[in-house]
Amino acid sequence: MNRLKSGEVNLGTSIMAVQFDKGVVIGADSRTTTGSYIANRVTDKLTHVHDRIYCCRSGSAADTQAVADIVHNYLQLYTQIHGAHPPVSSAAGMFQDICYDNKDALSAGIIVAGWDKEVGPSVYNIPLGGGLFRQPWAIGGSGSTYVYGYCDATYQDGWGRDETVEFVKNTLALAMARDGSSGGVIRMCVITEDGVERLFVPGDKLPKFWEGREVLSGPVKKSVEQTAMAIE
């Protein structure tokens, strides 16, 4: 069901967020399309809404930017009013209120993820209708449909930071390889108590999987080392 109006900019997208012991790793591709033209091939879909709370945006670029700006504003007010950092659940609740109450007019699939002192790391998935789902890992966007199987088969509880980053990177690379609306570079953020670390994987350094080389040429032969002929 394509709810985008004609001419509206679309965050085709593959986004995901995964919880690990000390924090969360969030990731996204970097493609924004208007119809079949790529309006921005280096988009940053990981949006800061608070020091330790980020959201991944998919769907209409205008809708998700507007919603994220509103929640960013609300969270700044929360911090001033309460004198404390907001829990991720509150931020997710704010997103949900806007997405659910305006479900007719919005086309926005958002994943909220972050770290707070009370609960630690958490990931909340808010798909199109405005429901709120807390999950250990969440994927979203048009590219996510291609990687549900890979994620179900690969994810394991109890991973550390590096394994989680590998998982996110591989999943997004697979989604970007199959989904026309996803592509470009991989942007990731690792959010922990100590801070937010931004990671970047350029388009030519994406993890490679099956490339179908056997179809065009013969199987890849291992070259035999030629030792130099001895001449006296």
Residues that bind another protein (CB under 8 A): 5, 7-9, 32, 34, 37, 39-40, 42-43, 60-62, 65-66, 69, 104-105
What is the rounded distance in angstroms from the CA atom of residue 215 to the CA atom of residue 195? Answer: 46
Instruction: Please identify, using beta-carbon distances, which residue of 107 and 164 lies nearer to another protein.
Output: 107
What is the rounded distance in angstroms from the CA atom of residue 231 to the CA atom of residue 215? Answer: 42
Residue among 13, 32, 33, 192 flagged as catalytic = 13
Instruction: Please identify, using beta-carbon distances, which residue of 68 and 174 lies nearer to another protein.
Output: 68
What is the rounded distance in angstroms from the CA atom of residue 29 to the CA atom of residue 9? Answer: 16
Give least dist CB 31 to another protein, A: 12
Tell me if 26 sits within 8 A of 17, measured CB to CB. yes
Using CA atoms, how far residue 166 sits from 17, 71, 114, in Å, is: 12, 30, 19
Tell me if 57 sits within 8 A of 65, measured CB to CB. yes
Instruction: Please identify, using beta-carbon distances, which residue of 34 and 89 lies nearer to another protein.
Output: 34
What is the rounded distance in angstroms from the CA atom of residue 68 to the CA atom of residue 57? Answer: 9
What are the start-end ranges of the H helices in 102-160? 148-154
Instruction: Please identify, using beta-carbon distances, which residue of 60 and 164 lies nearer to another protein.
Output: 60
Instruction: Please identify, using beta-carbon distances, which residue of 54 and 159 lies nearer to another protein.
Output: 54
Tell me if 150 sits within 8 A of 171, measured CB to CB. yes
Give least dist CB 232 to another protein, A: 56
Give yes or no: 164 in active site. no
Residues whose CB falls within 8 Å of the CB of residue 122, separated by 6 or more in sequence, listed in order: 19, 24, 88, 89, 113, 114, 115, 116, 134
Give least dist CB 204 to another protein, A: 16
Catalogue the E-assigned strands of 42-132. Answer: 46-50, 53-60, 108-116, 120-126
Give least dist CB 214 to another protein, A: 33
| Active site positions, annotated | 13
